[in-house]
Amino acid sequence: MCGIIGCVGRDDTVETLLNGLSNLEYRGYDSAGLAIGGGNLEVTKKQGELENLRAELDNNESSVSGTVGIGHTRWSTHGPPSDRNSHPHTDSDNRVSVVHNGIIENYQSIRDELTTEGITFTSDTDSEVVPHLIAGYLDDGLNPQAAFEKAVERIEGSYALAVIIEGTDAIFAVRNDSPLVVGAGDSAYFLGSDVPAFLDYTRDVVYLDNGEFAILRPDGWTISNQEGDNVTKNPKTVEWTAEQTGKSGYSHFMLKEINEQPTSLRQCISGRVDELKDAVVVEELDHLSHVDRVQFVACGTSYHAALYGAELLRDRDINSKAYLASEYATAPAPVTKATLVVGVTQSGETADTLSALREAQNRGAQTLALTNVVGSTAARECDHVLYIRAGPEIGVAATKTFSSQLVTLNLLVEHLARGRGRSTTNYELITALRNLPNQVQHVLDESNAQEVVDEYVGDNAFFFIGRGLNFPVALEGALKFKEITYEHAEGFAAGELKHGPLALVTANTPIFAVVTGDDERAQKTIGNIKEVEARDAPVVLITDGETEAERYADHVLEIPDSHQRVSPMLANVQLQLVAYHMADRFGRDIDKPRNLAKSVTVE
């Protein structure tokens, strides 16, 4: 949830940390802070966005400098956004400074114990117990490394911790269920909760696994396990460049990433769709064992992708269902060895999804991570992994990753169907997938979404409807809209409007209706459009023009004609643009919507 950056061995430690925090603001922006060490510790932190921290540093009478440092950008869990709840946190004597991502579940009992011993806490956070624990073990005579490891033994929950200690030119770190990655530069070493934290300085990375400790010093880094044994890990070179995580002239990361979809989709299908052989080839799935049932677990946008994937499988006569990961983790569905549980997670670090996958593994199911991030926790822990290849996504609201998830799910479905002896992939679908990037580009070039949304600024609520494969896209359209506009938006299966939601429909309730193809579902959706039209609600139609639905619409957002499984992806792009332009019209902070974070690493 929160962002962590650390560095050792650079002369410009403060600026390096600030740059890293800037690259991590998508992980949290309630507050930001940094601690500089090597000698005495100097901590500077401030509520609000990173610019507030920069201003505070500029206002300091004495310059802040040192050989080692850690930084943090926060998404609040324990305690509201404030200066005192900002990270880093320190002990009473300012000897130990800590940044933390995750939740310490037993913090209250530790806090009560330390309060009884005379410790005064200055924040509402769970994180503050850590520096006080470490300081106590230092007082007992332990060296910094031993004091850190002893403190970690006391805490329970999910955490990524980075610690610096007065008089020590080292960063001590550990992870448990929250991501941490080491960056190995030519003459400096870095720590981050995500690769963009230090991508300007190195692309050589080492991912920590659960229970692993790292120590970064000016002359190198070491990794050890919970038993104290050294762990040998060779750095891997990430393919992303620093330029890929910049805005490239766009007003917002979200708009940039919407426009990157033709490229990300080409990356997704490259080498996996063979039009000449009329086949889908996904080598990553070659070692799957026999599968007779598929369960998807996911959250948010990824859950909408899972709904889409589950319906595709059912259409191929494969038993399948999508579950909210947070519900599955506490009440898992029955599984067998022939059950495949697919965790759909953009980051590969979503706590609820990881918990659901672990529960499935414990019960004997095969697991597959469908994710974007190479080396993520889900990718490492699952039996199999299928990457969506969307490239880095910085905007909190998922766009290009959702499109790539839908395409990747089509590939998964065709692989599983072939393994079950179902009919082979048809030429029309293969052609449609190959044509999808160009058709998405056409939508981006020709969309009139900006003009359409100007007609509805100030309306009360916004409803999104669709049937079949268009239903998950309607849900996603509503989610994207509410995430970044802060306006009331809901998605419904089109046939459900008359079973309650129709009571809310007025002349000030625009209905965004997705109608593609000309089958029974399309015709029934037109009937639902007539129902809202009779209540004077304006209708915005997203359509490929295969029906006469346009005659009942106030505005039309057109998409190219395509395969019935691909058309929803094109409709999704129009809805992304609807959300973006409405949010822009309101002047919202589009890349950093309030109360949200890119990677939700708490349950």
Q: Tell me the C-alpha distance between 74 and 375, whole Å.
A: 23
Q: Is 598 in the active site?
A: yes
Q: Tell me the C-alpha distance between 354 and 364, whole Å.
A: 15
- CA count, 13 A, side-chain hemisphere, 234: 1
Catalytic residue among 2, 7, 268, 382: 2
Tokens 């549980």, residue located: 341
Tokens of 101: 């991502």
> Does residue 133 contact residue 152 with C-beta atoms inside 8 Å?
no
How far out from the chain centre does Cα 153 lie? 29
Q: What is the CA radius of gyration of the chain?
A: 25
With both helix axes pointing from N to C terminus, report the angle between 470-485 and 567-586 in degrees, rounded to the nearest 10. 10
> Does residue 71 contact residue 4 with C-beta atoms inside 8 Å?
yes
Grouping H, G, I as helix, E, B as strand and the rest as coil, residue 518 is coil
CB neighbour list of residue 134: distance below 8 Å, 6 or more residues apart: 91, 96, 98, 147, 148, 151, 163, 165
With both helix axes pointing from N to C terminus, report the angle between 427-446 and 567-586 in degrees, rounded to the nearest 10. 20
Question: Could you tell me which residues are beta bridge partners of residue 189?
Answer: 8, 184
Q: Tell me the C-alpha distance between 233 and 350, whole Å.
A: 24
Q: Which amino acid is at 31?
A: S
Judge residue 157's burial from the number of C-beta atoms within 10 Å of its C-beta, 0-12 exposed, 13-18 middle, 19 or more buried.
middle
> Does residue 264 contact residue 400 with C-beta atoms inside 8 Å?
yes
Using alpha carbons only, give the angle 261, 267, 269 rounded to the nearest 5 degrees. 105
- CA count, 13 A, side-chain hemisphere, 436: 33
For 342, the enclosing helix (H) or strand (E) is strand 339-345
Tokens of 23: 């690259």
Tokens of 208: 């920590």
Task: Say if residue 392 is preceded by a cis peptide, omega within 30 of 0.
Answer: no
Judge residue 59's burial from the number of C-beta atoms within 10 Å of its C-beta, 0-12 exposed, 13-18 middle, 19 or more buried.
exposed
> Does residue 366 contact residue 340 with C-beta atoms inside 8 Å?
yes
Q: How many residues in the chain?
A: 603
Q: Tell me the C-alpha distance between 207 and 195, whole Å.
A: 10
Grouping H, G, I as helix, E, B as strand and the rest as coil, residue 538 is coil
Q: What are phi and psi of 587, to 5 degrees?
A: 75, 30
Q: Tell me the C-alpha distance between 127 and 155, whole Å.
A: 10
Q: Which residues are identified as catalytic?
A: 2, 598
